[in-house]
A and B are shown apart, each in its own frame.
Chain A
Amino acid sequence: MCDTSTLDISAAAEAPSRRKAVPGKCIKCKAAKPNVAIRRIQYCRQCFVKASVTKFRMAVGKSRKRVAWPRTKVLIAFSGGPSSSAMLRLAADLQNMELKGTDAMPPFLGAVVGHIDESCLFPSCPESNICAIAANSGIQLETLALEHVFLPTEDHLALLELVQTALAPGAAKEQLCVRLSKPAKDASCAEQLQTLFSNLKSPTDKEDMLQAIKTALLVQLARNSGCGAILLGDSATRTAVKAMALTGRGRGFSLPLEVGAESQWFQDIVAIRPMRDFVAKEIAFFNRWTRQPSAFVPTFTTAEHRRASINRLTEAFIVELDQDFASTVPTVCRTLQKLETRPDALAAAPCLVCGMPAEPDAHTWRTRLTIDSNVPESTPDTSENDTFDITSCLCYSCQTMLRHTAPGAQLPGFCSSRLHAAAAGSSLVSENQDRLRKQIENFIISDSDSDDN
């Protein structure tokens, strides 16, 4: 602390306002030597950690004001990476406030850590480290593995198998045909998952599919654990990158739901992003100075060049811009706050793959493309009675992903469940409905033959 005995009275009378910086000192305490600069504002270590804790509490409080969710348990989505590790620490501290004797009530009835085990796709993923970090928080850990999406359930006894696609701009009849099929007999769930990803063409498609599966599993984990809210660890930097990447991939229709501070798209579950005000740098310093461990979670583009995927390229763009213009990330995030979800998006049916709203007639956007990759596409033979067109049940981005996917690929089980629900809710085009219902009936196992499976 600085020595105040040397200050003269006139200086004391002109005490600096709370926001006025003292050169060479922390912006908060105005006494200690600064240890970090966040957008040119300098903090000492103690004030920085305190400010981070306050910022997190404010973010949860603000979300609660905007979306009054009932007092419920919360699922803390935890990948093991720096942002979700920081969120886990901050959320655990927030939940334990009552135990420390303050009057404030914790914002949630209880908390569960939800983790998706990705080691099936990334064998180098340090699962034991990740579980140890979660265990340190003292909060119950619930884990689901990615391959769980291929576990047969009553909802999806059959899987959707891609047959043929004709979605090239100017195609005579745009169709993306699937049929219901049973999983290969000898294939384990892990093998089915690996086969699906080997059938996806590009790292961008793989990242999209991985995100879709993780979102579906997190929602499932939340429901299984009786949680009415999910905390997602998207940082400000990640949100800015995501916004640009989602826009580039044609996901503008669902963008406000995917980057918003809170989203009620999953109806019974509120998704909250309380790390949205933290840039990646703040998270790195918070973890370091609070000795919060995190794991290195590999992705499809780890150690790859910037052009490896749209996400990677967008990240490089935002991060490089942010280096020269320190307000880039906050500016993108502030702009995103102004986005509102269109009423027709909230009323739209969920996409079979990503689960986000699928814009009706999304495929018509493709007719406006003037440049396209020269990918040969087979003309679907719809004479076979067991195929049906699911184009209208997919968002634009997932159409693009499946368009490039090898025929024969079997989609995760939740896709057939969603198709089942869409058929029941008559949101499918009528010519498909009857055929689909009959197909689904063929796969429903009666009590008498369930023993055989």
Chain B
Amino acid sequence: MADTTEKETPKLLINVEFSDGLETLIKDEVLKKREGRSCAQIKLEETYGGSPATIRHLAEYIRDNCIKSKPELFYDKDGVRPGILVLINNDDWELFEEDGIDKHDYKLENNADVVFISTLHGG
């Protein structure tokens, strides 16, 4: 992650929710229970290497900072593990996949709601 001595850059606040077993992978100190849901607030840089923050940056941040162990159960090879659904502002992220644009490259805005749902049997 960014060196703390660097000049502070603007942050994006992303509201994340983990569901259907994914919450068991996440560190307890990251999770907050809200109306029975397992939520977390994640701060991302506004830009990474000059490019705006995307879902990929969020998923990589979660993989590197929020997973208890076995990060590959969340992020496999070069993306969110197959079998995990992603909702961005309550819409299916596959809607944002068009004209050769990968759904991982969806640009996040401040206060975006992102939900990760496992559809795998037993989480």
* A residues whose Cβ falls under 8 Å from a Cβ of B: 34-37, 42, 82, 237-238, 241, 280-281, 283-285, 288, 293-294, 296-303, 305, 311-312, 315-316, 319-320, 322-323
A281 to B117, CA, bound (A): 9
A322 to B121, CA, bound (A): 15
A35 to B88, CA, bound (A): 10
Residues of A near B123 (CB, < 8 A) are: 296, 298-299, 302-303
Residues of B near A294 (CB, < 8 A) are: 20
Residues of A near B25 (CB, < 8 A) are: 303
22 A-B contacts, Cβ less than 8 Å apart? A34-B95, A35-B91, A35-B95, A36-B92, A37-B94, A238-B121, A280-B119, A283-B119, A284-B119, A288-B90, A288-B117, A296-B24, A298-B21, A298-B123, A303-B70, A303-B73, A305-B70, A305-B73, A315-B83, A319-B119, A319-B120, A320-B82
Q: Residue on B with the closest CB to A235?
A: B119
Residues of A near B70 (CB, < 8 A) are: 303, 305
Residue B87 lies at the interface, judged by CB distance under 8 Å to chain A: yes
Contacts A36-B95, A319-B83 hold; do A296 and B121 have CB atoms under 8 A apart? no
Q: Is the CB of B20 within 8 A of A315?
A: no
Residue B12 lies at the interface, judged by CB distance under 8 Å to chain A: no
Residue B36 lies at the interface, judged by CB distance under 8 Å to chain A: yes
Q: Residue on A with the closest CB to B73?
A: A303
Contact-residue bracket for chain B = 20 to 34
A285 to B94, CA, bound (A): 13
* B38: min CB distance to chain A, Å: 10
Residues of B near A42 (CB, < 8 A) are: 95
Contacts A298-B122, A303-B123 hold; do A293 and B36 have CB atoms under 8 A apart? yes
Contacts A37-B92, A37-B95, A288-B117 hold; do A297 and B122 have CB atoms under 8 A apart? yes
Q: Residue on B with the closest CB to A308?
A: B122
Residue B59 lies at the interface, judged by CB distance under 8 Å to chain A: no
Residues of A near B42 (CB, < 8 A) are: none
Q: Is the CB of B21 within 8 A of A237?
A: no
A284 to B21, CA, bound (A): 13
Residues of A near B73 (CB, < 8 A) are: 303, 305
Contacts A82-B20, A288-B87, A305-B70 hold; do A241 and B92 have CB atoms under 8 A apart? no
Residues of B near A305 (CB, < 8 A) are: 70, 72-73
Q: Which 9 A-B pairs give the minimum distances between C-beta atoms?
A: A299-B122, A280-B119, A36-B92, A319-B83, A323-B82, A302-B122, A37-B94, A296-B21, A320-B82
Q: Is the CB of B85 within 8 A of A315?
A: no
Q: Is the CB of A281 within 8 A of B90?
A: no
* A291: min CB distance to chain B, Å: 11
* B68: min CB distance to chain A, Å: 9
Contacts A37-B94, A293-B36, A302-B21 hold; do A281 and B119 have CB atoms under 8 A apart? yes
Residues of A near B24 (CB, < 8 A) are: 296, 302-303
A109 to B91, CA, bound (A): 38
Q: Is the CB of A35 within 8 A of B92?
A: yes
* A14: min CB distance to chain B, Å: 25
Q: Is the CB of A284 within 8 A of B90?
A: no
Given A82-B20, A288-B115, A305-B70, 11 more A-B residue pairs with CB atoms under 8 Å apart are A35-B91, A36-B92, A42-B95, A285-B92, A288-B117, A298-B122, A299-B121, A300-B122, A302-B122, A303-B70, A305-B72
